[in-house]
Chains A and B, each alone.
Chain A
């Protein structure tokens, strides 16, 4: 019946986002002399690292049909614990403590959503308040500084074209989560649970386990984002990264990760991050009033979600 139309719609969805990104790149290249410069590119990449990592992180639970709104809270709390550990036991222990804390906080989210049956939106919104609160208690509301300057390595340029080490971490995370979602049986479970949790259960998939691990992954990756932020300032505080999870979720949605679960991909989220950042970059380079930047980005999110709903309208 509507097969051909369906296929065409799918394709237009796939290419729409790519097309939009290409158009922006071309327009910016032609209208500014600085856009294509190495310095601007390196700058652009460095700017997307944190949101990029968070966007990859949130894609995992989103495909399984749940949200994680506690990512910046996890980033802050785990970065604070990391710096305390670095100051006490050195850098390697600190990095481990950071990622471990992130995974543990993700586990807490997962347990709340599965066993305690709290809607993921509310559960992670509430847990983010708990996490930021804990961070404030630990730091007494102060900034914690790292004694070990080697943490700064993440935001230093590498030998190649001056790209920062943090950029490589982001690229590695994008590739690894991309493979995890698209190529492994764990990824299949994510899609199956997001597509129809009841059907997944009857097919022998543990929804509880899938959701808990998804939250642990987004927690651990949020901690990495927190490390990148901490490395820039060589410090952390309860407000570190505040609000970035919303930008990350918006980027994922712009790229075409479904709000209803069961559909999406890492490349979509990464492209969404690029698109949002290109708009910001364009505003700067063109000397346009930056006050309108938020308006354009917000409008893009509305447009993307509306387009998604329109294209997904089933003709059954």
Chain B
């Protein structure tokens, strides 16, 4: 550990219109250390990362690399100083080989022709240094898993001679095992003298690897110091100025006479997932845990009719859904908050009002013509109820933060007044404050008699919210726990199952 910081920022300021997103931020990042960068969405983490990596320019203040003030006008300026960023949206050329991606921009060449042999050698050298033995130089990136693609991005950062790597939510897309591997790698990189800036919503991940933690709230630093001594609870306090208790959450008691609303029997998909049978009663929240790739989302999509099933029945309030499609399912009172709001949940260029009222568009029309006044009133009510922070309900979705987008997605299905609501990863990429509000919305809906199936990779989340917790493994339901019956370790053990015996997860 060296005493001279590799990177310092001084009095960094940035605002959009009248909105100040960074307030006189002063930070030092020293070689050989891992820094956790925490904060709610909109706290200024991404803005800070973007300034440091040259994607945007600060209004005032300086960025210093090894004591020299530098002005980054574009990412290449930051790269030249050894600063690279790995964002959530991966930036690889999917149709090209791993080696070409790693050395893109400085491929070994002679007279314009790539020296393939040297390229493979260089790739092997970088891969060996990082211990990535299982990616071949010639592998087309498209065929690699998300986790492996991330490794390619890390290799590229190193091949470019980076000395500071910013990772923006790298574990959000990884399974538990992959996350552990990545955290170990981060530690190793820091031990070799690199600076790692880890932006993450997963406080445990950050605490397990970071030397120091930076917490931002409303564009100002509320904590900058060693990670030791901090707990998820204390960090949350720095982030939101208040504490939300996830551990002592308990679902509302369920009446024994509550009727069964959703009944799934023998559901099977063409990809071998299933058979799955389950029932959910009115007001009941049933959680579904399992590794990424265990088939949770696939089962949910088949129940909703978004994907075809080859066998089995789905019954809502004793009415079997025949010729399933999302259109038919919606008519039978099914709803689904899907896992990726940007790709499949919302139309980003359209307004909150358009998105929220699209499922129930028939309700706001007479003889096929829109009745805008009723629609506005209904949307206004649901926007208030879900506490979406927006300028107006005519604001396009892309301008909203992740948490607010997720609330709009929930509002859209609340307007449909479903009998059964499937929610897939309801809090992914959502900050702590919005998370608590989403839990409240789910509990509220259940209290109104909606049967809820909730899928989540955050085990504490499903354990705390659900009356019953189902665990999936290899496309089948393998265990069921009542609330409070199982520990986190037991749930994880059930999800991994015979992991040690057959030497690989099913994801």
Contacts and interface: CB of A to CB of B under 8 A. Distances in A.
A189 B18 CA distance: 36
Given A184-B365, A188-B354, A3 B347 contact: no
Interface in A268-316: 314-316
A183 B361 CA distance: 12
B368 A204 contact: no
Interface stretch (B2-10, B74-82, B124-132, B323-331): B323-331
Contacts of B358: 188, 192, 200, 203, 205
Contacts of B396: 6
Contact of B347 (A6, A184, A200, A314): A200
Nearest to A3: B391
Nearest to A195: B347
A196 B327 contact: no
A199 B361 contact: no
A199 B368 contact: no
Nearest to A2: B16
Interface residues of A, number: 31
A198 B343 contact: yes
A204 B327 contact: yes
Contacts of A186: 368
A185 interface: yes
Contacts of B331: 204
A4 interface: yes
B48 to A, nearest CB: 15
A5 interface: yes
B336 A202 contact: yes
Interface in A1-37: 1-6
B345 A202 contact: yes
A184 B370 contact: yes
B370 A185 contact: yes
A191 B355 CA distance: 11
A19 to B, nearest CB: 23
Contact of B370 (A188, A199, A201): A188
Contacts of B362: 185
**Interface residue tally of chain B, by bracket?**
35 or more
Interface in B395-443: 395-396, 398-399, 412
A203 B398 contact: no
Contacts of A94: none
Given A1-B17, A191-B354, A314-B398, A202 B391 contact: no
Interface string A175-215: 00000000111111101100110111111111000000000
A203 B418 CA distance: 12
B306 interface: yes
A200 to B, nearest CB: 7
Given A188-B354, A188-B361, A262-B349, A201 B326 contact: yes
Contacts of A198: 343-344
B338 A263 contact: no
Interface string B331-344: 10000101000011
Q: Taking each of B21, B347, B362, B395, which has the highest tally of chain A beta carbons within 10 Å of its own beta carbon?
A: B347
A191 B16 contact: no
Interface string A210-235: 00000000000000000000000000
Contacts of A192: 347, 350, 354, 358
Nearest to B365: A185
Which DSSP category, helix, strand, loop or mixed, fits chain A's interface?
helix
Contact of A206 (B21, B327, B345, B370): B327
B369 to A, nearest CB: 5
B147 interface: no
Contacts of A262: 347, 349-350
Contacts of A187: 370
A1 B343 CA distance: 23
Interface string B123-157: 00000000000000000000000000000000000
B370 A316 contact: no
A202 B369 CA distance: 23
A198 B301 CA distance: 13
A2 B17 contact: yes
Contacts of B368: 184-186
Nearest to B350: A195
Interface in B277-317: 304, 306
Interface string B207-223: 00000000000000000
B346 interface: yes
B19 interface: yes
A183 B344 contact: no
B399 A195 contact: no
A183 B368 CA distance: 9
A20 B368 CA distance: 35
Contact of A196 (B346, B359, B370): B346
B321 interface: no
Contact of A204 (B326, B346, B347, B350): B326
Interface of A: 1-6, 183-189, 191-192, 195-196, 198-206, 262-263, 314-316
Q: Pick the 9 closest A-B CB pairs, nearest first.
A: A195-B347, A204-B330, A196-B347, A1-B16, A198-B344, A204-B327, A4-B17, A185-B365, A203-B358
14 contacts: A1-B16, A2-B17, A3-B399, A185-B361, A185-B370, A195-B350, A196-B343, A196-B346, A198-B343, A198-B344, A199-B343, A199-B347, A200-B358, A202-B344
Given A183-B370, A198-B343, A199-B345, 16 more contacts: A1-B17, A2-B17, A4-B17, A6-B399, A185-B362, A185-B368, A189-B361, A191-B347, A191-B354, A192-B358, A202-B344, A203-B359, A204-B329, A204-B331, A204-B359, A315-B16
Interface of B: 16-19, 21, 304, 306, 325-327, 329-331, 336, 338, 343-350, 354, 358-359, 361-362, 365, 368-370, 391, 395-396, 398-399, 412
